[in-house]
Chains A and B, each alone.
Chain A
Amino acid sequence: MPTLPQFLSQAFNGIALGSLLALIASGLSIILGTLGVLNFAHGSMFMLGAYTAFVVLGHWDSFAAALAVAALVLLLVGLVTERGLIRFYYRRPAEDQILVTFGLGIMMVEAVRHVFGPLSQRVPLPSWGQGVINFGFFLYPLYRVEVIGIVAALLFAFYLLLYRTRLGLVVRAGIEDPLMVELLGTHVRRVFMVVFSLGAMAAGIAGATYAPLAAVIPNMGEPFLVQCFVVVVIGGLGSFFGAVVGGLIVGEILSLTTLFDPSYAQAAIYAVMTLVLIIRPRGLFGTMGRE
């Protein structure tokens, strides 16, 4: 049986893991909710954010700059992708959309592998993120605690955008009923472009934030992509709050199961996803929106 200190330290770790998942998944969720597109390139966008941070930090010793540049680069990538590729697929069946985003994801991974090679790159911790905090009965890396803070701030900014701006209003309306929004005279397509770019940006910032914590390799986005889909299903397709709550739930499950048997951690999140699909198929906070 795990001890209380062990349990508490893993529970805290779950929040750290979960908040990162929440950020990535919220991007995925609004893309899915607004455009109805399953963005299988989302993991690669996360990875591009990490590599952008690596490149920036090679020239400029400012982590804040790395995050800002990663956000801008992924905003641009999202824009170009939507205008250049995704918008031709809105009327196509879901399988086509999945295939094209999946293929795009692979192309991004291989392009990065070609440019940077397969070895993992080192992204240093920011100077304000080094060291550990002593919580009494366990030590925890300072940077991970700061990541919770950064992600919380970003999610709050996202929330403000979605719920306190006109654009956000249109986006949420578009998630609920795109046809009606179009009939009411709004250029829904322009909204799509913005939403896709925002979603990509969220993944990119998450990647840049995560880069000092793990091996930055071309494949690094893959495990996150799958976990994010689980988060979106649990939280509810198209729901921002669902992504946040779902992210925290998945993060906690992953952390707490390692106390008992790590091999069941991945299986456990699918088990919970199945449970949610049985009890509440829309997800915990799912909107009516897409069928």
Chain B
Amino acid sequence: MSHKLFSRRSLLKSGLGASAAGFSLRQTTPEAIAQDHPVLGTYPAGVNGSTIFIGGVFPLTGPYSASGKDEQLGFQLAIDHLNNGSRITDQIPSLTKGGGILGKKIESQSADSETKPDTAVQAATRFIRNNKAIVLTGGVSSAESIAMQKLGQREHVIFMVGNSGSNDTTGKDCQRYGFRAQPSAYMAAKALAPVLAKELGATRKAAYLVPDYTYGTSVYKSMKEFTEKTGWTTVTEQLAPLGTTDFSSYLLNIANTGADVFVNVAFGADATASTKQAEQFGILSNMKYVVPNISQFQAKELGASIMGGTYGTQSWWWTEQDSYPLARIFVEEFEKRNHYKPDWGASEVYIQLLVWADAVERAGTFYPIEVIKALESGEKVNSIYGEVYYRAEDHQMVRPVPVMVGKKPNKMEGPDDFFQVLNLVPGEQVLPPFPETGCKMPDINA
């Protein structure tokens, strides 16, 4: 043995100890965690820089363009709040830091889906390939939302659904990488039917106008199921292609059925045209009017004299600000920027982005599998819809379902006061039992 101050053995031991300590320290920093996850989708390529990219695909043309525009504005507000802080993110513990998510500012872009699923998928694919989008949102028609959800599953990029009412989105077309906030057709029907039975009576004969695609048939099936349970009869299911402008042939059929309730499942511009034409055919004077899923701006476009007395649901209505403080701030901020009160499309994209951001912060990483696990954890998030969380089995957001009735012109307390919310039905009460959904969720590693 030599008489050096540090023996070779002790030098080796301390060296190993120091590097082990240093190595374990590295494990706990976010960058180190990032590097521990394998490549998956746009991770880590999309998050290695100082900014991340979020893509929004909305129908800015086509029959659902008004809703698409509303969603786009909600999208822009959410990005602004996440980047620059806001009175809303100040009240969500994981988002109080501001300055983006996990310290990275968000860059964003929107694209037009033209209300067509293939155009939507093309735009979303471009966001993934060219911009390395770490998450996508958007969609108004269920056809486009389901298509983008499938794309997200294939490309391993999470898709936070903007609008989609079809049961299939969290049913037979459910995806591990897709999350849906809107009440499904089942939930809306289950919340609405008891109110209809109470307000309109239990022995009604209903004629349905149904847009001929997944959303329309979903709403029809669910409404039929729940209204028949209360005693109603379903007299006819009149299908019409999505994008129809002249419903005269279909309305003639409906007018001739002898029904006393007209249930209109059409959405967007189709809803406006069909309602207007139904009024011209005298259907609205002879029958009660029910719209299971009221479109954004439908009341504004048609006016309270037509929509007054109409029963239906929407994902959200601005008077909920009386129940949820964050909603009040959301309405104020949105109205300041865009000069109109936000409609529910804007609210859904807004809430989806904040819920996703919260999940990323809780997971401490952008790695999709960890974010999915955080979203599925069932942890409640404070939001503009109150406290919400995702049901892990089918990725359906558990949130209140507002049932409302249109106000007649003389009852309105302001130019936007179109609806009276009769009931905020808790989501837990109207969720479909999971075995009935038909959802076979892909494995998390698929």
Q: Contact: B250 with A262, CB < 8 Å?
A: yes
B280 / chain A contacts, CB cutoff of 8 Å: 125, 132, 141, 143-144, 213
The answer, among A120, A213, A254, for a CB contact under 8 Å with B66, is A120
Q: Measured between alpha carbons, how far is A263 from B242 in the docked complex, in Å?
A: 10
**Residue among B61, B248, B270, B301 having the largest count of chain A Cβ atoms under 10 Å:** B248
Q: Is A219 an interface residue (CB 8 A)?
A: yes
Tell me, yes or no, whether A201 is within 8 Å of chain B by CB.
no
* Residues in B neighbouring A113, C-beta threshold 8 A: 61, 65
| Interchain nearest-CB distance for B158 vs A (Å) | 28
The 8 Å CB contact of A258, one of B60, B253, B269, is B253
The answer to whether A214 and B252 have CB atoms under 8 Å apart is no
Interface residues of B in 259-302 (CB under 8 A from A): 269-270, 272-273, 276-277, 280-282, 297, 300-302
Taking CB atoms and an 8 Å cut-off, the chain A residues in 248-275 that contact chain B are 254-255, 258-259, 262-263, 265-266
Is A262 in contact with B241, judged by CB distance below 8 angstroms? yes
Chain B proximity of A1: nearest CB distance (Å): 13
Residues in chain B near residue A215, CB distance under 8 A: 245, 269-270, 272-273, 276, 301
Q: Mark A111-147, 1 if CB is under 8 A from B, else 0.
A: 0010001111110010000011000001111011000
- Whether the pair B281, A9 counts as a contact (CB closer than 8 A) is no
A186 within 8 A of partner (CB): no
Which residue of the partner chain A has the closest CB to B210? A262
Q: Give the contacting residue for B277; candidates A109, A213, A254, A262; CB below 8 A.
A: A213
In the bound complex, how far is the Cα of B238 from the Cα of A6, in angstroms? 14
How long is the Cα–Cα vector from A224 to B244 in the complex, in angstroms? 11
CB of B241 within 8 A of CB of A219, answer: no
CA–CA, A231 and B301, complex, Å: 32
**Contact indicator A254/B300 (Cβ below 8 Å):** no
Q: Is the CB of A139 within 8 A of B249?
A: no
The answer, yes or no, to whether A239 is at the interface (CB within 8 Å) is: no
Q: Which residue in A10, A122, A214, A263 is a CB contact (below 8 Å) of B245?
A: A214
Indicate whether A79 reaches chain B with its CB closer than 8 angstroms.
no
Q: B255 — nearest CB in chain A belongs to which residue? A: A139
In the complex, how many angstroms separate the beta carbon of B377 from the nearest chain A beta carbon? Answer: 38
User: Nearest-CB distance from B418 to chain A (Å)?
Assistant: 14
CB < 8 Å: which of B69, B212, B276, B277 contacts A263?
B212
Residues of A contacting B282 in the complex (Cβ-Cβ under 8 angstroms): 131-132, 139, 141
User: A16 CA to B66 CA in the complex, in Å?
Assistant: 29
The answer to whether the Cβ of A217 comes within 8 Å of any Cβ in the partner chain is yes
Q: Give complex CA distance A214, B282 in Å.
A: 15
Smallest CB separation, B29 vs chain A (Å): 47
In the docked arrangement, what's the CA distance between A130 and B62, Å?
29
Contact of A10 among B65, B252, B269, B276 (CB under 8 A): B252
Write the B210-252 contact mask toward A (1 if CB under 8 angstroms, else 0).
Answer: 0010000000000000000000000000111101111011101
A229 to chain B, nearest CB (A): 16
Residue B201 at the chain A interface, CB threshold 8 Å: no
Q: What is the bound-complex CA distance between A284 and B236, given in angstroms?
A: 38
Among A121, A141, A217, A224, find the residue whose CB has the most chain B CB atoms closer than 10 A.
A217
Enumerate chain A residues within 8 angstroms of B60, measured Cβ to Cβ: 118
B253 and A259 within 8 A (CB): yes
Contact present for B252 and A17 (CB under 8 Å): no
Interface residues of A (CB under 8 A from B): 5-6, 9-10, 13, 16-17, 109, 113, 117-122, 125, 131-132, 138-141, 143-144, 213-215, 217-220, 223-224, 254-255, 258-259, 262-263, 265-266
Task: Name 20 A/B residue pairs within 8 A (Cβ), A-sorted.
Answer: A6-B253, A10-B253, A13-B248, A117-B69, A118-B68, A118-B69, A120-B269, A120-B272, A132-B281, A138-B252, A139-B281, A141-B281, A143-B280, A144-B248, A214-B246, A215-B272, A215-B273, A223-B243, A263-B239, A265-B241
Sample of 6 further A-B pairs with CB below 8 A, known A118-B68, A138-B252, A144-B248:
A109-B61, A118-B61, A144-B280, A215-B245, A215-B270, A217-B65
Listed from nearest, the 6 A-B pairs whose CB atoms lie closest are A258-B249, A215-B273, A141-B280, A215-B272, A118-B65, A132-B282
